[in-house]
Amino acid sequence: GSAICLVWKRNPEFSICHFGQPPVKRKGTMRGAIHGIYKSAAEAIMPVRSTSAFKEKGVLTPEEFVLAGDTLVSTCPTWSWQGGESAKRKPYLPPDKQYLITRNVPSLQRASAVEVYGDAETIVEGADGDEDSWVATQGLNVSGTAEGAPMEEEIPSMDANPSGATSSGVNPEDDDDIPDMADFETDDATMEPVDEAALPSTYLVATEPEDHIVRTRTYDLSITYDKYYQTPRVWLYGYDEARTPLKPEQALEDVSHDHARKTVTVETHPHASIQAASIHPCQHASVMKKLSEMLTAGGSEPRVDQYLFLFLKFLGAIIPTIEYDYTMSVGR
């Protein structure tokens, strides 16, 4: 896999590779076609993993994938096993457990809506060359205020009255400019009757341009087993508000900005004759290995049957607005 992964993110521990420029491998590109042919040929001759290396490498055997899938289905009923098209079934998986799917998962807003501060993030290094660092979502100037933030308006003191003004703020010399309410008194008999029906409504009606209305999308999310990378792989097939299928490229709008440019590919689903957006798995194993080590360091013992819960939590950073179900604490 290292020969394929050409470009890496800043932090290699949680990096995910992409295929040079353009960053998203789209259907029909020469680079994507060559990689697909190579991967298919490699899978045809490479053996199926039979020994567990969940903790050591972050990978799964097909049996472990089924075990983790069974745990996900039993815990979260929104997920279910599917057999897929018979011609596309993999012999190393049970016929009725080829992949997992959850349908009609809502996505109420686009990923850009939750990335307001993404472009303003700044990595602040630790003191004295320390490895620890933190992210400042807005640049800070020397005074500690955010750059570009409006300056606070100076509020005058309540005691600093203008010369000659009273405590109420009114200059006695300006009394002649204040109208007398008696000038506005009228005889009730001379007033015309008021047609209450003709009065404007007291309700305020908020209108918004049609282009600014965010339409709710839904997704069918599926998880397959990737024999080449020996990890799960997620596929996104979306619908708009009218249940019209989205183009695979439109799914990029629901992927975080950084990952949409680097980790999403558009390919044929391995168990269905559809084009779908997929989160490329070339670094899933290393990320899962790191997350398992973090659990162990925190005093929890990672379990292979809970692999998919940890996996889906990790994917939440990539597809932050797609509200799929993974309601279980891992490492317990």
Return phi, psi of residue 110, to 5°.
Answer: -80, 155
Phi-psi region of 28 (alpha: psi -120 to 50; beta: other; left: phi over 0): left
Q: Which two tokens stand for residue 266?
A: 């558009």
Query: Could you say which DSSP state residue 201 is in?
Result: P
Angle (CA) 254 256 259, round 5°: 115
In whole angstroms, give the CA distance from residue 43 to residue 278: 18
Q: Which two tokens stand for residue 248?
A: 């695979």
> What is the identity of the amino acid at 45?
I
Any bridge partners for residue 221, and if so which? Answer: 102, 236
In whole angstroms, give the CA distance from residue 241 to residue 57: 41
Give the three-state DSSP class for 210: helix
Active site residues: 282
Q: Which two tokens stand for residue 3?
A: 């020969």
Return phi, psi of residue 18, to 5°.
Answer: -140, 175
Q: Which two tokens stand for residue 260?
A: 């949409």
